[in-house]
């Protein structure tokens, strides 16, 4: 057992945990923030994506105790049903989901992707590494490909993200 303290959605949370506890299980089973989903527990599906220190990570692939003092944002921290984050609202508007299980991960990823592009971080499909990457269809689809949606809402998700980014799909 070990203690760890980090900020989750703006609130400092201290936990006493089995050191084997993943960040994902700390959120879901200990803090009861079940918006973050467990789809595979092996870093293969992206359903557990959360934003830590401004970067998106698979919370199933990291232990909670590794995040002492860090800042975690989950889907619950982005917005509420009454006050949705623009990305959440865009997903509803464009029906960018069906069963909803991959959705929190898609939304956390999408929010982080826009920041990555703004920060000039290149991807596998960026043509010119010296130029600022643009949110093209190819860039968007490449960067979102770590988040599987078996219901197949990709086309709608792309519309939602491009709308939030202020571009036409």
Partner 1 sequence: MKFDTPATTNPIDQLKVIGHATSRIDGPLKTTGRATYAYEWHDRPASPAYGYIVGAAIAKGRIASMDLSRARSAPGIIAIVTAENAGKLGKGNYNTAKLLGGPDIDHYHQAVAVVVAETFEQARAAAQLVKVDYAAAKGSFDLSAGRDGAAKPPGRGDDQPDTTVGDFPGAFASSPVQLDATYTTPDQAHAMMEPHASMAAWEGDKLTLWTSNQMIAWTTGDVAKTLGLPKENVRLISPFIGGGFGGKLFLRADAVLAALGARAANRPVKVAMQRPLMFNNTTHRPATIQRIRIGAGRDGKITAIGHESWSGNLPEGRPETAVQQTRLLYAGENRMTALRLAMLDLPEGNAMRAPGEAPGMMALEIAMDEMAERLGLDPIEFRARNDTQVDPEHPNRPFSQRQLVECMRIGAERFGWNKRNAEPGKQRDGRWLIGMGVAAAFRNNLLMKSGARVRLDRGGTVTVETDMTDIGTGSYTIIAQTAAEMMGVPLEKVVVRLGDSSFPVSAGSGGQFGANNSTSGVYAACVKLREAVAQKLGFNSAEIAFTDGQVTAGNRSVPLGQAASDGELAAEDSIEYGDLAKTHQQSTFGAHFVELGVDVATAEIRVRRMLAVCAAGRILNPTTARSQVIGAMTMGVGAALMEELAVDKRSGFFVNHDLAGYEVPVHADIPHQDTIFLDETDPMSSPMKAKGIGELGLCGVAAALANAVYNATGIRVREYPITLDKLLHRMPDA
Taking the least distance from each CB to partner 1, the nearer of 18 and 68 is: 18
CA dihedral 34, 37, 42, 43 (to 10 degrees): -120
Selected from 11, 16, 32, 129, the binder of partner 1 by CB under 8 A is: 32
Question: Which of 156, 35, 47 lies closest to 95 in space, CA to CA?
Answer: 156
Q: What are the distances in angstroms from CA 95 to CA 6, 74, 153? A: 33, 21, 8
Is 59 a binding residue for partner 1 by CB under 8 A? The answer is: no
Is 3 a binding residue for partner 1 by CB under 8 A? The answer is: no
Q: What are the distances in angstroms from CA 37 to CA 115, 119, 147? A: 22, 27, 12
- Structure-token match 């898609």, residue found: 106
DSSP β-bridge partners for residue 2? 17
Binding mask 85-104 for partner 1 (x = CB under 8 A): ---xx-xxx-x-xxxxxxxx
Taking the least distance from each CB to partner 1, the nearer of 6 and 64 is: 64
In the bound complex, what is the minimum distance in angstroms from residue 107's beta carbon to partner 1?
Answer: 6
**Contact set with partner 1 (CB under 8 A):** 18, 20-21, 25, 28-29, 32-42, 44-45, 47, 74-76, 78-82, 84, 88-89, 91-93, 95, 97-104, 107, 137, 140-142, 144-158, 169
């Amino acid at each position: 057992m070990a203690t760890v303290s980090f900020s989750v959605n703006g609130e400092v949370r201290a936990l006493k945990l089995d050191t084997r506890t993943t960040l994902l299980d700390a959120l879901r089973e200990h803090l009861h923030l079940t918006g973050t989903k467990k789809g595979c527990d092996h870093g293969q599906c992206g359903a557990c994506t959360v934003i830590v220190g401004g970067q998106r990570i698979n919370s199933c692939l990291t232990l909670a105790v590794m995040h002492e003092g860090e800042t975690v944002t989950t889907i619950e921290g982005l917005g509420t049903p009454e006050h949705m984050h623009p990305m959440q609202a865009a997903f509803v508007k464009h029906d960018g989901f069906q069963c909803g299980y991959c959705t929190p991960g898609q939304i956390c990823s999408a929010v982080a992707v826009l920041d990555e592009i703004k920060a000039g971080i290149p991807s596998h499909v960026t043509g010119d590494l010296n130029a600022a990457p643009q949110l093209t269809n190819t860039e968007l689809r490449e960067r979102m490909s770590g988040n599987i949606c078996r219901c197949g809402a990709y086309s709608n998700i792309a519309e939602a993200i491009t709308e939030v980014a202020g571009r036409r799909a």
